[in-house]
Structure 1
Amino acid sequence: MLTDTLIQSIVDISHQAGDKIMEIYQRDFAIYEKSDESPLTEADLAAHNCIVAGLQAISDLPILSEESANISWQERSGWDKYWLVDPLDGTKEFIKKNGEFTVNIALIDKGVPVLGVVYAPVLSQTYVGIVGQGAYKISAGQKTDISPKAHIKGDSWKIVGSRSHQSPEIQALLDSLPGETELVAMGSSLKLCLVAEGVAHLYPRLGPTSEWDTGAAQAVVEAAGGKVTIIKDAANPLKEDAEPLRYNQKDSVLNPFFLVSC
């Protein structure tokens, strides 16, 4: 069982990284382009350095971060337990200054996210999930238990979508659902958290993501009682026997398409 001390330490580290991000968010900042043409800011690097230093002070487990991802599969394949980090998830949201970006820290154990902290510094919201122990949200200093909300027949489906990445396949998936659908737009890993706290019913992801984009929020979803499963057939995304999304199973750190649901 994960200790309260460890959980609080991870929350504290996420908040410290958020403070570093906000120092830069409130002024002009430089924007760079990574090799895959995705944007990178000095805030990504400041948060990365803060988190790595914080984790190394409390743990000797290896760390896989978006900003230090050039670790060979030969090395990673020997990891049973490690930290999976996205120092600033939603860099495009950060650049747009819409507040919908997060700090993500997950503990992965044998491919399963068992602890996740997702912190949205502009929104002052922290989501914490400990698989087997539950999930909660901290907002304005108040801690509230969260759980997903099942769709009720006759109600409109609330479907989380991305502000920055819309897939043309999404409409076909929406058309496969019985009844009306309503899009709930959100950026970063907050999309998964909306399902975890019952604000939305589903989040289908039919576009590219990496493991650090989802690890922490998946722990929140699963700890809350929800599911993150692999989509193999977009025309039938709600299959009961769908496989759960898992981590560090292959050379590539890209995720397959997935569905977040109750």
Structure 2
Amino acid sequence: MIDDLLRDSIIRLLRDAGGKILEIYRKSDPGIRMKEDNSPVTEADLVSDMLIQNGLAELTPGIPVFSEETKDISFDIRRKWNSFWVLDPLDGTKEFIARNDEFCICLALISDKRPAAGFIHIPVTGKSYCALSGKGAFVIKQNKTIKLPLYIPSGTVKINISRSHHTLQEEKMVEKIAGSYPVIKKTMGSAIKFCRVAEGKVDLYPRFKRSNEWDVAAGDIIVKESGGTFFEIHSGKEPFYNRHDAKIEPFLACGTRGKTICGSIPGGLLT
């Protein structure tokens, strides 16, 4: 469904949006307000959303977009979609406001309830990550396209957990792994954590809270196409998308070594 030409056009679109985000990031007032669900939104969220949605309308006419900023599309409409884009125009708004550089743009193409393509662009570093189903995952930096993973993990087990959404269950998982391996745990914001897993820099990214589809879908396919696994913790199965509430259950993203670690913990990692 997505050839190399369209892939490159989408990456350029996300880079253009990333440039606009950085312009607002450097302002003294990024235009913060609170949404109805009491989560923050900024001028950058809205500008990025408009730019990307307009660009996708030109690049892929006829494929609808389900975005965090236009999420009120009813399920009665969405359930009829076989293919659609799911978009978070600024993942990590809290990180953006905190000015810690840990924010990104997430975009995935869902087809038959599974991710068929995924893109994550990090404005601060200029790196873009992408994956197409069955074709591998790549990072594009300084106009070079490099296949993922970049590293063969060794030594200390590296675990990322969410800065804003971690629970005691993540801490218990880290403790269980630390009973068998030396462990380094790092908190981080946004879907950048998926990129670290796909690169081979991080072995495991657990999340025990439910997530929005637009926060997860791109990372899902990027991790899997880099040789890792991604599954819902309670079912042990890969998630499907376009659910009535657009939520994904607690999940575990594993890098190439993370899969082995999961199977080697006495008594099981998830018990």
Distance (whole Å) between structure 2 residues aligned to residue 123 and residue 231 of structure 1: 31
Distance (whole Å) between structure 1 residues aligned to residue 108 and residue 164 of structure 2: 23
Counterpart position of 1:245:
239
Which structure 2 residues correspond to residues 34-113 of structure 1 after superposition, within 5 A?
A: 34-59=35-60, 60-113=62-115
Give the Å deviation of 1:216.
Answer: 1.2
**AA partner of residue 35 (structure 1):** E
Counterpart position of 2:130:
128
Counterpart position of 1:4:
4
Give the Å deviation of 1:257.
Answer: 0.1
Counterpart position of 1:256:
249
Distance (whole Å) between structure 2 residues aligned to residue 191 and residue 180 of structure 1: 20
1:147 aligns with 2:178: no
Distance (whole Å) between structure 2 residues aligned to residue 151 and residue 180 of structure 1: 13
* 8 Å CA contact retained: 1:149, 1:200: no
1:210 aligns with 2:212: yes
Sequence identity, in percent? Answer: 36
Counterpart position of 2:265:
none
RMSD, aligned CA:
1.6
Give the Å deviation of 1:150.
Answer: 7.5
SS at match of 1:50: helix
* 8 Å CA contact retained: 1:148, 1:224: no
**AA partner of residue 13 (structure 2):** I
**AA partner of residue 169 (structure 1):** Q
Counterpart position of 2:262:
none
SS at match of 1:245: coil
Give the Å deviation of 1:151.
Answer: 6.4
TM-score by length of 2: 0.88
Range with bigger deviation, 63-72 or 134-143: 134-143
Distance (whole Å) between structure 2 residues aligned to residue 183 and residue 215 of structure 1: 24
SS at match of 2:80: coil
Distance (whole Å) between structure 2 residues aligned to residue 123 and residue 151 of structure 1: 23
Give the Å deviation of 1:2.
Answer: 2.5
Q: Which runs of 5+ in 1 are unaligned?
A: 234-241
> Higher relative CO (CA 8 A, sep ≥ 6), structure 1 or 2?
1
Distance (whole Å) between structure 2 residues aligned to residue 126 and residue 187 of structure 1: 17
Distance (whole Å) between structure 1 residues aligned to residue 199 and residue 41 of structure 2: 30
Distance (whole Å) between structure 2 residues aligned to residue 100 and residue 139 of structure 1: 17
Which structure 2 residues correspond to residues 210-229 of structure 1 after superposition, within 5 A?
A: 210-229=212-231
SS at match of 1:176: helix
Range with bigger deviation, 12-21 or 196-205: 12-21
Distance (whole Å) between structure 1 residues aligned to residue 187 and residue 151 of structure 2: 18
Give the Å deviation of 1:52.
Answer: 0.5
- Paired residues, number: 251
* 8 Å CA contact retained: 1:148, 1:195: no
Deviation by residue 1:215-235 (Cα, 9 ceiling, x = unmatched) = 1121211221211100118xx
**AA partner of residue 245 (structure 2):** S
Counterpart position of 2:269:
none
SS at match of 2:107: strand
